[in-house]
């Protein structure tokens, strides 16, 4: 099979590992995971999350990487290269989608009907390639608002240095954050400036290429990220009262566990591991056949989980020691935490804030550059563009869309006409902002759908046995060893080569991919869109 990306291969398995870890470790680890854990039962939620990561995260990431490497091509090509793109199954699915659209139209949901109808029509015309198209589209949408938050981190770094962010109360924090969130007055230009600066940094790294840009920068930035986290952890844990924070974060509280916690863990796993939008697929297509996909996957997921837990240990001790109550998402990171850092005696608040927002900026940057890759590789592979032109085009589109997001992260005040139009389509229940609209469209609808499509494609259509063959390349026989022998710490004499064991990691992987992943993802999806409620 010819590899269209030969020029772009990673220089080593370590390079791939760090780049993929860079993609997965991002805002999801630093602002999403810690709070979700704190409010969903602490240590118990961490356990549930580990389980979900093992059951869905590991199999799906292995599937995506192996699909990418086997096809050696961009997402659109990958979904058409290993099997025919169209079949009876795709026609059936497309018909179901079109019927669903008709139903939505008749029940008075034209916006939903339009979206589902379009997807159905695309599926009818292009089959599995549709999944590839969405792998090109979704990262563009995500990157447009990811870039805005990346921009905020830069604004905060500059403002902390300038001494503007010296607030020590939540009210003080509101005063700083409100104009940024609502992009009012001259803050509009500052927010857009930050967003464009962040996008420019992404552009610079991506233009330099896979090996000389993404890989090289990941090798510098990822260790730096972990060093910064360690510094913040030491600072937080040495504050009097730090243990209260750790208790909020990790103390098991079974009463807070609900069915919803499991679903929350599924959504979190998808987002934080960058799954379901062709990123790992594209990164996998740059991977050589000597690399061990299983080992790399376990490495990426291990680092991602470590980063999430470390982020919680870095954040909550400082928040609780300074007597603040934790809040969620942007509020926690952009209001509560900086105020807590400023309260730390010794007057070093500026330093802690700069270090923290630098860490956040780095995490966001290495995730953002991975979002450029699937659309860029599609433009290169399917539209014969040069890599430079493709990267430029993607960043340009994301920057322009991002300006709209920057102006409407909180409401439609800056974009009244668009707000009204969206309101009409949504029949008056317009999502609160442009940002919210894109965010819910991507994370609640498209991500689980694409994840589901990927598991079905790899598990059933391409076939888990072919995927396993791909996984075996570069692997030392771990996948075919007996689980019992592995658990007992023995080694099969033949390294498992004769494949006669009944319970091997490879077999478990196949079962998880074909049955457990699709079922859990479907449950999460239905829960997200409100068909069932846990």
Residue from 20, 27, 233, 242 touching ligand PHE (CB under 6 A): that is 27
Residue 28 as a binder of ligand PHE (CB under 6 A): the answer is yes
Going residue by residue from 68 to 107, which x/- string records binding to ligand PHE, judged by CB under 6 A?
Answer: ----------------------------------------
* Cβ-based neighbours of 478, under 8 Å, separated by 6 or more: 294, 295, 486, 496, 505
239/442 with CB nearer ligand PHE:
442
Q: Interface with ligand PHE includes 282 (CB under 6 A)?
A: no
| Total residues found in the chain within this entry | 534
Give me the 434-463 binding string for ligand PHE, x by CB under 6 A, dash otherwise: ------------------------------
Instruction: Report the 10 Å Cβ neighbour count for 411.
Output: 18
Q: Which is nearer to ligand PHE, 71 or 301 (CB)?
A: 301
Whole-angstrom distance, CA of residue 180 vs CA of residue 152? 8
Stretch that binds ligand PHE, among 126-134, 268-276, 416-424, 450-458 (CB under 6 A): 268-276
- Please identify, using beta-carbon distances, which residue of 271 and 457 lies nearer to ligand PHE: 271
Q: Does 372 interact with ligand PHE (rule: CB under 6 A)?
A: no
DSSP state of 164: T
* Nearer to ligand PHE (CB atom), residue 232 or residue 279: 279
Residues 309-368 that bind ligand PHE (CB under 6 A): 367
Q: Are 62 and 118 in contact (CB under 8 A)?
A: no
Question: CA 473 to CA 42: how far, in whole Å?
Answer: 39
- Write each residue from 132 to 151 as x if it is in contact with ligand PHE (CB under 6 A), else as -, in one continuous string: ----------x---------
Confirm if 53 and 306 have CB atoms less than 8 A apart.
no
DSSP 516: I
**Contact flags string 222-261 toward ligand PHE, x per CB under 6 A:** ----------------------------------------
Q: In angstroms, what is the minimal distance from the CB of 301 to ligand PHE?
A: 12
Q: Do 383 and 393 meet the contact criterion of CB atoms below 8 Å apart?
A: no
3-state secondary structure of 67: helix
Burial of 507 (0-12, 13-18, 19+ CB in 10 A): middle
In this structure, how many other beta carbons lie within 10 angstroms of the beta carbon of residue 382? Answer: 17
272 binds ligand PHE, rule: CB under 6 A: yes
Q: Which of 9, 23, 74, 294 binds ligand PHE (CB under 6 A)?
A: 23
Interface pick for ligand PHE out of 279, 281, 300, 337 (rule CB under 6 A): 279
The most distant pair of C-alpha atoms in the chain lies apart, rounded to whole Å, by 71
End-to-end CA distance of the chain: 46
Helices (H) and strands (E) in the chain, counts: 27, 0
29 contacts ligand PHE (rule: CB under 6 A): yes
In 10 A of CB 185, how many CB atoms? 9
Rounded to 5°, angle at Cα 145 from 139 and 149 = 125
Q: Which of 123, 198, 271, 341 binds ligand PHE (CB under 6 A)?
A: 271
Count of beta carbons in the 10 Å neighbourhood of residue 374: 30
Q: Report the nearest approach of ligand PHE to the CB of residue 142 (Å).
A: 6
DSSP annotation of 335: I
Nearer to ligand PHE, 403 or 450 (CB): 450
- Name which position in 8, 13, 24, 475 contacts ligand PHE (CB under 6 A): 24
297 binding ligand PHE? (CB under 6 A): no
Report the nearest approach of ligand PHE to the CB of residue 397 (Å).
Answer: 16
How far apart (Å, rounded) are the C-alpha atoms in residues 429 and 523? 25
DSSP codes, 435-448? HHHHHHIIIIIIHH
Among 26, 34, 459, 506, binds ligand PHE (CB under 6 A): 26
Taking contact as CB under 6 A, which single stretch among the options 5-13, 20-28, 236-244, 430-438 is the one that binds ligand PHE?
20-28
Contacts with 386 (C-beta within 8 Å, 6 or more apart), sequence order: 380
Residues that bind ligand PHE (CB under 6 A): 23-24, 26-29, 142, 271-272, 274, 277, 279, 367, 370-371
């Amino acid at each position: 099979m010819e590899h269209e990306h030969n020029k772009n291969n990673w220089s080593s398995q370590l390079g791939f590992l760090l780049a993929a870890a860079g993609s997965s470790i991002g805002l999801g680890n630093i602002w999403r995971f810690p709070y979700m854990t704190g409010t969903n039962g602490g240590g118990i939620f961490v356990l549930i999350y580990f389980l979900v990561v093992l059951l869905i995260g590991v199999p799906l990431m292995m599937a995506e990487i192996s699909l990418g490497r086997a096809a050696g091509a961009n997402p659109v090509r990958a979904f058409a290269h290993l099997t025919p793109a169209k079949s009876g199954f795709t026609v059936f699915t497309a018909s179901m989608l079109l019927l669903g659209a008709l139903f939505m139209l008749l029940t008075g949901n034209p916006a939903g009907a339009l979206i589902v109808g379009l997807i159905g029509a695309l599926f009818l015309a292009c089959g599995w390639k549709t999944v590839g198209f969405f792998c090109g589209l979704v990262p563009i949408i995500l990157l447009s608002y990811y870039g805005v938050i990346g921009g905020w981190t830069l604004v905060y770094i500059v403002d902390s240095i300038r001494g503007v962010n010296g607030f020590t109360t939540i009210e003080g924090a509101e005063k700083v954050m409100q104009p940024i969130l609502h992009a009012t007055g001259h803050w509009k230009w500052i927010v857009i400036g930050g967003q464009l600066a962040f996008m420019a940094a992404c552009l610079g790294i991506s233009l330099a290429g896979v090996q000389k840009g993404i890989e090289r920068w990941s090798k510098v930035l990822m260790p730096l990220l972990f060093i910064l986290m360690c510094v913040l952890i030491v600072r937080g844990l040495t504050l009097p009262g730090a243990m209260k924070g750790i208790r909020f974060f990790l103390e098991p509280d079974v009463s807070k566990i609900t069915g919803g916690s499991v679903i929350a863990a599924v959504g979190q796993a998808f987002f934080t591991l960058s799954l379901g939008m062709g990123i790992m697929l594209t990164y996998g297509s740059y991977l050589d056949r000597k690399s061990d996909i299983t080992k790399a996957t376990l490495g990426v997921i291990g680092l991602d989980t470590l980063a999430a837990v470390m982020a919680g240990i870095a954040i909550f001790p400082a928040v609780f020691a300074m007597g603040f109550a934790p809040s969620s998402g942007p509020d926690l990171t952009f209001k509560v935490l900086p105020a807590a850092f400023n309260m730390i005696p010794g007057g070093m608040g500026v330093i802690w804030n700069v270090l923290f927002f630098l860490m956040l900026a780095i995490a966001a940057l290495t995730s953002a550059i991975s979002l450029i890759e699937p659309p860029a590789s599609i433009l290169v592979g399917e539209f014969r563009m040069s890599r430079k032109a493709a990267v430029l085009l993607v960043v340009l589109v994301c920057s322009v869309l991002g300006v709209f997001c920057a102006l409407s992260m909180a409401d439609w005040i800056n974009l009244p006409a668009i707000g009204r139009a969206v309101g009409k389509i949504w029949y008056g229940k317009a999502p609160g902002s442009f940002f919210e609209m894109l965010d819910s469209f991507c994370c609640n609808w498209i991500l689980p759908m694409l994840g589901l499509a990927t598991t079905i494609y790899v598990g059933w259509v391409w076939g888990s046995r072919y995927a396993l063959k791909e996984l075996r390349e570069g692997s030392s026989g771990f996948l075919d060893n007996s689980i019992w022998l592995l658990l007992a710490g023995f080694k099969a004499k033949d390294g498992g080569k004769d494949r006669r064991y009944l319970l091997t990691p490879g077999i478990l992987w196949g079962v998880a991919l074909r049955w457990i992943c699709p079922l859990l993802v479907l449950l999460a999806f239905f829960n997200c869109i409100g068909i069932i409620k846990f």
